[in-house]
């Protein structure tokens, strides 16, 4: 039996596994994963460990990078809306919107006629309503282009998630409005940055999907470890035996009870594997 047999480590991508914020601010390409992280993950996998990325990115925004990552388990994508096996290029599990989304977005657009949001599909398409500078910034970060659409009802199902993009004050109003509607309880709403508000179906969170992944892989709850830096990572930190947070995490994550490791650019994943090496 290998040292890390049936031990699962699930990591956020942006600013956890790879430091992407600096590249965005400087207008540069996203850097590769640090050598320290890669060497640690090679050791973890060679000794039976299971590694998966759990990202808010949807398929087209994450697929170009996963080829260079040592993932040996299906990944959580779209903030918990799906499990995707990149080795087989297929969905393992999905939690998509129903056709009720059309009438609900009608209500939303009546209240916020110029609301900006991206619409993610099960394939590699991303539509955008009323694209603004935040959409352009997000395209630069993810390298995933959007296709503008004038009428939401022109967008076809299945839809994985909506991503609202605006100033935080506007997104706070959108959040409150959705929560006030009778159908609001059908969805998960979580901020993945001050300018990004994610909406998935109820129960579709990183935490819920990591638990589903662990069950699929036969990993017991006490062998689940997760790491992330932002609010949308807290649900998976909560389900982990130990949740970890790089020191560059937002204040809410740093204060949520997670164990703090080094800044992501210095090899936060390697810090975690050093800790696990002493536990097993």
* Residue 4 tokens, joined: 């890390």
Question: Global pTM?
Answer: 0.89
- Residue 277, CA distances (Å) to 7, 38, 121, 183, 274 in order: 11, 15, 39, 46, 5
What is the pLDDT tens value at each position of the chain, 280 positions in all? 899 999 999 999 999 999 987 666 666 677 789 999 999 999 999 999 999 999 998 888 898 889 889 999 999 999 999 999 999 999 999 999 999 999 999 999 999 999 999 999 988 889 999 999 888 877 766 777 889 999 999 999 999 999 999 999 999 999 999 999 999 999 999 998 889 999 999 989 999 999 999 999 999 999 999 999 999 999 999 999 999 999 999 999 999 999 999 999 999 999 999 999 999 9
Rg (CA), the chain: 18
Helices 133-142, 59-66: crossing angle, 10 deg rounding: 30
- Distance (Å, rounded) from C-alpha 229 to C-alpha 183? 30
- Distance (Å, rounded) from C-alpha 260 to C-alpha 127? 37
């Amino acid at each position: 039996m290998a040292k890390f047999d049936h031990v699962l480590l699930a990591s956020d991508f942006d600013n956890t596994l790879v430091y992407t914020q600096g590249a965005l601010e400087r207008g540069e390409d996203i850097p590769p994963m640090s050598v320290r992280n890669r060497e640690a993950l090679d050791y973890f996998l060679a000794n039976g460990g299971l590694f998966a990325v759990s990202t808010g990115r949807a398929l087209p925004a994450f697929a170009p990078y996963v080829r260079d990552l040592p993932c040996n388990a299906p990944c959580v994508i779209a903030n918990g809306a799906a499990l995707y096996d990149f080795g087989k290029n297929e969905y393992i599990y999905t939690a998509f919107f129903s056709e009720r989304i059309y009438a609900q977005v009608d209500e939303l657009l009546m209240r916020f006629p110029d609301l900006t949001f991206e619409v993610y599909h099960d394939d590699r398409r991303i539509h955008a309503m009323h694209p603004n500078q935040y959409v352009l910034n997000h395209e630069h970060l993810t390298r995933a282009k959007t296709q503008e659409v004038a009428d939401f009802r022109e967008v076809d199902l299945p839809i994985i998630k909506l991503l609202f993009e605006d100033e935080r004050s506007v997104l706070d109003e959108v959040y409150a409005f959705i929560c006030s509607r009778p159908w609001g309880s059908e969805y998960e709403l979580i901020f993945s940055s001050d300018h990004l508000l994610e909406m998935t179906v109820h129960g579709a969170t990183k935490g819920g999907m990591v638990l589903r992944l662990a069950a699929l892989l036969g990993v017991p709850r006490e062998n689940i470890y997760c790491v992330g830096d932002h609010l949308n990572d807290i649900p998976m930190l909560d389900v982990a035996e130990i949740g970890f947070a790089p020191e560059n995490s937002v204040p809410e994550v740093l204060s949520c009870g997670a164990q703090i490791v080094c800044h992501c650019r210095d090899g936060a994943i390697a810090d975690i594997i050093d800790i696990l090496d002493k536990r097993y």
